[in-house]
Amino acid sequence: MMKKMLAFFFLFVGLAGFAADSEAKWWIFGQSEDEVATRYLYLNDISYDELGDKVTLYRELLPNGQATLKGRGQAGRNKVGAVQISLDNGATWQKADLAADGSFIYNFTPRLGETYQLSVKILDTAGKSNDLEATRKELTVSDGDITSVIRAALDAMIAAYQDEDARAFMRHIDENFAGDATILDRGVRKDFTLFDNLRLTYQLNNVAAGSGGKIFASFTFSRQVTSARDAQTYEDRGVTEFIFKLHADRALVTAMKHPLIFGLSEAEDVATGVTNSAENAQTLRVSNNEIFLSDQPYDDDYDDGPGAVGIPRPTNLAVQYFSYPELTLTFDVPGSVNDSTYKRVLQWSTSPGGPWADDNDPIFSQVSFTEFTVHCRGEIWDAGHIYYRVALEKIADGDMSAWSNVVSVP
C-alpha cells in the first residue's frame, strides 16, 4: 500500500511540475527515430550551408543594420517544437519566431569589429535536436567596399548579355565555373536567338564573404523579353544567387543558381542549386526553344533524390587542376564535415545525365577532405568528355546525401 501511495505521489508531482512549465507546452513524451535538420537555411538571403566556417557580412548592405537567419526545420514524422539561436557558441540561446510549418526567422544587430559564434538549434516535439556542429559559423561585419566590385561585374555581364556579345560576357566567368563554362557559353548564345528587346535590372540584396575566398551575392532581378518567334512579351521578377571569386580587383562568377538570368536555354546544366524565395513564384523558363512563364518548383536535375535527412549536400564541385591522368577536384560542405564521420562517393559518366558508375580507384592524394586528386579514367579519350559528381556517405549507417552539381573534363 505504501509503495502505491509513493508512486502516485511522485507521478502527481511530476505532472504538476510539467503543467506549470508554460515554455514546455509543445513537449510530448516519447522519442523520435527521425533525424531533425534544416530543410533550408539562409543568412541575409544567402545559402547558409555554402558559406563555410567563417562569414563576413558587409555593413552597407545590412537592412537597418540587421542580420537575418531564416529557414525551415524538419523532423520526419514529428513536428518542429522550437528553434533557438546562439550568438556566443552555445553559452546563451534566444528563441526564433516559429510558424506551424516549421519555418522560422530570427533578427539580430551585429556590431562592427565583434566576432559572433552562430549556432542554430532545432528541437522536435520529442526533444530531439539537430546536429549543432553542422550549423556553427564565425560571423563578423566589415565596412569594406566589396559590393562595388560585385556591382561592376554584374553591370558588365548584363551589358554584354543585352548587347548579345558572348565573348565579352564570358570574360566575367571563372575558368572553374561549376556548371561547365562551355555549356554556359552555348546557353547564352542560344538565349540571343530566342530573346529580343531584353531588359534586365537588379537590386543587390546582400554580399557575404565565405571560406575559401568565395563571395556570395543575393540579388533581386526584374526582366522583360520579347520572344523572337511570336513577338510576345514576357516579364518576371525573382531572387537569385551568384558565387564569385576575386582575381586581383575583378570578381569572376564560379556558380549560378535557379532562377537563372543568363543561359536559360541550358538551365539544367548551368545552375547548381535553387534559390528559395517567395518572389520566385513565376519565372521565365526555356524548353525546346520555347519561352514561357512557370510557377512550378525548379527541378534540380543533378540530384537523384533528396538524400538522407541531415546529411549536407556537397556544393560547387569544380575542377581545380587537370593534366592527364591527374585530376584535382574541390567542393564545398559545412566545416564540421570531415573524413571521421563521412566518406566521399565519386561517380563518373560519359554523359552529363548519366548513367553513372562509381569511381572505385584509390585517391591519388588529398590536400583536405574537400580537395583531392584522382587518376582520370581512360574513357575520357574515347568519349571526348567525362563527367563527375560527388556525394557524402555517412560512415556509421551508409546513408547518403544528395548529389552535387556535375563537372566535365576536359
Three-state secondary structure of the chain? CHHHHHHHHHHHHHHHHHHHCHHHCCCCCCCCCCCCEEEEEEECCEECHHHCCEEEEEHHHCHHHCEEEEEEEECCCCCEEEEEEECECCCCCEECEECCCCEEEEEECCCCCCCEEEEEEEEECCCCECCHHHHCEEEEEECCCHHHHHHHHHHHHHHHHHCCCHHHHHCCECCCCCCCHHHHHHHHHHHHHHEEEEEEEEEEEEEEECHHHEEEEEEEEEEEEEECCCCCEEEEEEEEEEEEEEECCEEEEEEECECCCCCHHHHHHHCCCECCCHHHCCEEEEECCEEEEECCCCCCCCCCCCCCCCCCCCEEEEEEEEECCEEEEEEECCCCCCCCCEEEEEEEECCCCCCCEECCCCCCEEEECCEEEEECCCHHHHHCCEEEEEEEEECCCCCECCCCCCEEEC
pLDDT in tens, 28-59: 333 445 688 888 889 988 888 888 888 999 98
**Position 383 pLDDT exceeds 70:** no
| Confidence label for 150 from pLDDT (cuts 50, 70 and 90) | very high
pLDDT at 253: 96
Cα separation of 137 and 133, whole Å? 9
pLDDT at 380: 60
pLDDT at 219: 95
Cα separation of 329 and 314, whole Å? 12
**Position 238 pLDDT exceeds 90:** yes
- The mean-pLDDT minimum among 49-53, 103-107, 217-221, 253-257 falls in 49-53
Which of 93-102, 286-295, 394-403 ranks highest by mean pLDDT? 93-102
Q: Partners of 326 in the beta sheet?
A: 323, 375
| Confidence label for 22 from pLDDT (cuts 50, 70 and 90) | very low
Mean pLDDT in residue range 342-370:
82
| Share of residues in the chain with pLDDT > 90 (%) | 42
**Position 269 pLDDT exceeds 90:** no
User: Is the separation of the CB atoms in 319 and 327 below 8 Å?
Assistant: yes
| Greatest alpha-carbon span in the chain | 91
| Confidence label for 110 from pLDDT (cuts 50, 70 and 90) | very high
Which of 101-105, 162-166, 211-215, 349-353 ranks highest by mean pLDDT? 162-166
In total, the chain counts a number of residues equal to 410
pTM for the complete prediction? 0.63
What domains lie within the chain, and their CATH numbers? 20-142 (2.60.40.650), 146-294 (3.10.450.50), 315-409 (2.60.40.10)
Mean pLDDT in residue range 252-260:
93
User: Is the separation of the CB atoms in 309 and 352 below 8 Å?
Assistant: no
**Position 105 pLDDT exceeds 80:** yes
User: Is the separation of the CB atoms in 162 and 199 below 8 Å?
Assistant: yes
Mean pLDDT in residue range 374-399:
78
pLDDT in tens, 302-342: 444 455 556 888 888 888 888 878 889 988 887 667 788 89
pLDDT at 12: 46
- The mean-pLDDT minimum among 195-204, 262-271, 329-338 falls in 329-338
Cα separation of 301 and 195, whole Å? 24
**Position 218 pLDDT exceeds 70:** yes
Within a 13 Å sphere around the CA of 178, how many CA atoms are in the beta-carbon half? 26
Three-state secondary structure of 190-238? HHHHHEEEEEEEEEEEEEEECHHHEEEEEEEEEEEEEECCCCCEEEEEE
| Confidence label for 3 from pLDDT (cuts 50, 70 and 90) | very low
**Position 23 pLDDT exceeds 50:** no
Mean pLDDT in residue range 126-150:
90
